[in-house]
Amino acid sequence: MTPRKIIIDTDPGQDDAVAILLALGSPDEIEVLGITAVAGNVPLALTEKNARIVCELAGRPDIPVYAGCDRPLGRPLVTAEHVHGKTGLDGPALPDPTMPLQEQHAVDYIIDTIRAHDTGTVTLCPLGPLTNIATALQRAPDIAQKIQQIVLMGGAYFEVGNITPAAEFNIYVDPQAADIVFRSGIDIVVMPLDVTHKALVTAERNDAFRALGTPVGIAVAQMTEFFERFDKEKYGSGGAPLHDPCVTAYLIRPDLFSGRHVNVQIETTSELTLGMTVADWWRVTDRAPNATFIGDLDADGFFALLTERIARL
């Protein structure tokens, strides 16, 4: 099996970090061409730095990291230090990166890479606000038909919102960008809160990361422990949801997930429900399906995969 070529577009974020580590620990299935950073959980200067910290943690300073858009298309940036801490990667004490940031802008890198590869051979994995992806699609509409698939974390239907009562963070930060992506005609798979809220890091699962005894295993345990404090309090759940790793796990083991191919539209104007992902889960309209909206996963299988792959780093 040839590994699937991907670009990870990200705003690390502890759960972004785990998603990246899962990809880098799975070279038989995934070839990470590059990592593009976007402003989201924390400002761009921190997300691009955190992406490099994670590559170095994984022993992969050869992965090129690019900085992209520092703000949403049409609104001021909203960040989430209340969840992720001041640095975005609070929890473990990791050294500052020594690997360089690439000079090229992330949007130009995305466009050039897709154009340079055969049609249908590059998948985009957005783990943050969709600003970089939408900007690339606006600037180079020809790439839409060349992209193999977009597998993204964002949105919610049954779980509704985590940053407002109606909206999930990634989509809320840049609803205009999300709207462009969902109207692009590209094959899209969505990991909404509906599924990520079932991927809970329980104490037992956290212990399994720590028990690996490796620097990466211990760092993952410390990262998930950090943002767990916030989520446990908020949801009263047994652990924090591990959102972004659902994206990279899907590339390796799609059989762990189930969902529906439905129409998804983004609310871009209402002040009350801005950034809501209006998913026609019950197919009550005749709007054409444009995305596979995932609703469930085998959580034990997911954490077994994650632990096994983190162990390889």
Task: Determine whether 243 is an active site residue.
Answer: yes
Q: Tokens in use for 242?
A: 């591990």
- Determine the Cα–Cα distance for residues 4 and 121; give it in Å rounded to an integer: 7
Selected catalytic residue, list 82, 105, 117, 243? 243
| Nearer to Ca ion among residue 127 and residue 216 (C-beta) | 127
Best CA proximity match to 129, nearest among 176, 165, 84, 87? 176
What is the contact surface with Ca ion in residues (CB under 5 A)? Answer: 11, 13, 16, 127-128, 244
CB closer to Ca ion out of 228 and 244: 244
DSSP 141: G
CB of 118 to Ca ion, least distance (A): 29
Nearer to Ca ion, 8 or 305 (CB): 8
Spell out the residues 6+ positions from residue 234 whose beta carbon is closer than 8 angstroms to its own. Answer: none
Q: Other CB atoms closer than 10 Å to residue 116's CB: what's the count?
A: 10
CB of 200 to Ca ion, least distance (A): 17
Cα(2)–Cα(74) distance, integer angstroms: 39
Nearer residue to Ca ion within complex by CB, 231 or 244? 244
Pairing of β 147-153 and β 30-37: unpaired
Closest separation between CB of residue 142 and Ca ion, Å?
A: 28
* Shortest Å, Cβ 145 to Ca ion: 27
Nearer to Ca ion (CB atom), residue 16 or residue 228: 16
Here the tokens at position 155 are 């949105």
Output the six-digit token pair for 293: 């909206």
Distance, in Å, from the CA atom of 42 to the CA atom of 75, rounded to the nearest integer, reads 15
Quote the least distance from Cβ 84 to Ca ion, whole Å: 9
Residue 15's contacts (CB-CB under 8 Å, 6 or more residues apart) are 127, 227, 241, 242, 243, 244, 245
Minimum CB–partner distance for residue 25 and Ca ion (Å): 18
Q: Which phi and psi (to 5°) does residue 284 adopt?
A: -90, 0
Judged by CB, which is closer to Ca ion: 197, or 280? Answer: 197
Q: Residue 150 in contact with residue 123, Cβ under 8 Å?
A: yes
Beta bridge partners of 189: 151, 292
Measure the CA–CA gap between 14 and 219, rounded to whole angstroms: 10
Show which residues are catalytic.
243
